[in-house]
Amino acid sequence: MTDFLVIVALAALGAAVVGLPAAPAVRALRRRSVALSLFAVAALAVAAMAAGTVAVAQAMFLSGHDLGVVMAVVAVSGVVSLAAALLFGRRIAAGSRELARSARTVGSEGGFVAPGEPPTAELAALSRALEETSGRLAEARERERALDASRRELIAGISHDLRTPLAGLRAMAEALEDGVAEDTARYHARMRVEVDRLAAMVDDLFELSRIQAGALALTLSRVSVYDLVDDALAGARPLARASGVRLVDGGVVPLPVRVDAQQITRVLGNLLVNAIRATPEDGTVAVSAYRAEGRVVLAVEDGCGGIPAADLARVFDTGWRGGPARTPRAGGADGGGGAGLGLAIVRGIAEAHEGRATVRNTGAGCRFEVELPEAGPARAG
């Protein structure tokens, strides 16, 4: 037993005598190629083994012949392990180089092209991570592109919408200036309507840009949805009357909500104007408010005949508007179809309140719902 311990101690000593001075060299190679590092580690292992063997052989007074045999075995296995380390290291280095080349394709048009088969699990994981990053980048770029396109479309649409009333205003102003307008009072009234429309459009644009910039400052207060609906209905009644559409109470439960009353009145106003515009004469638009799953739901249901399924997902998009066939009152009682901003504002305001806005067809028409969080119990005082 003691003999055995002595052998172990001698082998360790021999290995330490060679290994300790070599350790800094291995450390210095840390930042060099992995092939070189592997080779150095294998060389260190072989040298330590040889030194340990020599130390043990000396102490045990092994014959020169026996030592020669042992050293020959050590030398052969050393050569084999060094060759294996070199080969393996070169494979890892080549795999790393290939992955580095592939990594340059992250963010390119074609996307990341993963190398054939990475030589180690770590490189394979890195390759997968790069693939995921590349996928996310492509998605972000696609979103950016879509956003850019819709922004361009919106600007084109708005410019067109602004140009039409402006041209009308200029024509009317010129007619008044030249004294060729017969019914000047009618001209003035018409100009007033156009200016109001322009102002409303600019106001919507401003509101939307604030919402999209996240700069909408809400003034929250505890109000009853009953009052909110009442205010919105009062605002929509003249348009409904002029359009021959009945506004009906579909059941409004007086639930408390903590919202920016002005903004939610605007939401309801936008929904009501849309519903009235989309409903044919003699049709009805119903407003309701109720509690569902701990949320307060405000719903506006119209008689538009349904929105085509393909359009349902787009109605809330900024600047999107349906064709004239679906808006019976375009150019009618309220001075025509809008700029496609109303529902984007509805959704933006709902989301700013941590709520959401949705739409679905109901058969005779469609139903827009705005979900808001219910106000907690009133605080005393």
Ligand X SMILES: Nc1ncnc2c1ncn2[C@@H]1O[C@H](COP(=O)(O)OP(=O)(O)OP(=O)(O)O)[C@@H](O)[C@H]1O
Residues that bind ligand X (CB under 6 A): 204, 270, 274-275, 278, 302, 304, 307, 315, 320-322, 326-327, 337-344, 366
Q: Which is nearer to ligand X, 52 or 365 (CB)?
A: 365
Widest pairwise Cα distance in the chain: 132
**Cβ contact 316:310 at 8 Å:** no
Whose tokens are 């307060």? That residue is: 296
Q: Which is nearer to ligand X, 39 or 320 (CB)?
A: 320
- Which tokens in the block code for residue 62? 């092994």
**Cβ contact 348:213 at 8 Å:** no
Name which of ligand X, Mg ion, none residue 296 binds, using a CB cut-off of 5 to 8 Å depending on partner kind. none
CA distance 308 to 369: 18
Give the CA count within 13 Å in the CB-facing half-sphere of 181. Answer: 18
State which of residues 263, 274, 318, 327 lies at the interface with Mg ion (CB under 5 A): 274
Q: Which is nearer to Mg ion, 14 or 338 (CB)?
A: 338
Q: Which is nearer to ligand X, 111 or 250 (CB)?
A: 250
Residue 270 CB, nearest distance to Mg ion (Å)?
5
Residue 112 CB, nearest distance to Mg ion (Å)?
43
Position 269 contacts Mg ion (CB under 5 A): no
Closest to 209 in 3D by CA, of 318, 126, 301, 83: 318
Q: Which is nearer to Mg ion, 51 or 300 (CB)?
A: 300
Residue 345 CB, nearest distance to Mg ion (Å)?
9
Residue 101 CB, nearest distance to Mg ion (Å)?
53
Q: Which is nearer to ligand X, 257 or 315 (CB)?
A: 315
Position 338 contacts Mg ion (CB under 5 A): yes
State which of residues 342, 348, 355, 365 lies at the interface with Mg ion (CB under 5 A): 342
CA distance 331 to 176: 24
Residue 320 CB, nearest distance to ligand X (Å)?
6
Residue 198 neighbours by CB under 8 Å, 6+ apart: 162, 165, 166
Q: Which is nearer to ligand X, 89 or 306 (CB)?
A: 306
- Which tokens in the block code for residue 101? 């080349």
E-strand stretches of the chain: 221-224, 246-252, 256-259, 284-292, 295-301, 356-361, 366-373
Q: Of 92-100, 165-173, 266-274, 354-362, which segment contacts Mg ion by CB under 5 A?
A: 266-274
Residue 251 CB, nearest distance to ligand X (Å)?
19
Q: Which is nearer to ligand X, 14 or 303 (CB)?
A: 303
Phi, psi of 74 (to 5 degrees): -60, -40
Name which of Mg ion, ligand X, none residue 340 binds, using a CB cut-off of 5 to 8 Å depending on partner kind. ligand X
Q: Cα angle at 336 between 334 and 338, to 5 degrees? A: 105
Q: Which is nearer to ligand X, 137 or 205 (CB)?
A: 205
Residue 364 CB, nearest distance to ligand X (Å)?
11
CA distance 349 to 212: 10
Q: How many residues bind Mg ion (CB under 5 A)?
A: 3
Residue 193 CB, nearest distance to Mg ion (Å)?
17
**Cβ contact 258:220 at 8 Å:** yes
CA distance 31 to 35: 11
Name which of ligand X, Mg ion, none residue 366 binds, using a CB cut-off of 5 to 8 Å depending on partner kind. ligand X
Sheet with 356-361, edge to edge strand ranges:
246-252, 284-292, 295-301, 366-373, 356-361
Residue 249 CB, nearest distance to ligand X (Å)?
18
Name which of ligand X, Mg ion, none residue 11 binds, using a CB cut-off of 5 to 8 Å depending on partner kind. none
- Which tokens in the block code for residue 193? 């309507």
- Which tokens in the block code for residue 255? 């639930």
Q: What is the contact surface with Mg ion in residues (CB under 5 A)?
A: 274, 338, 342
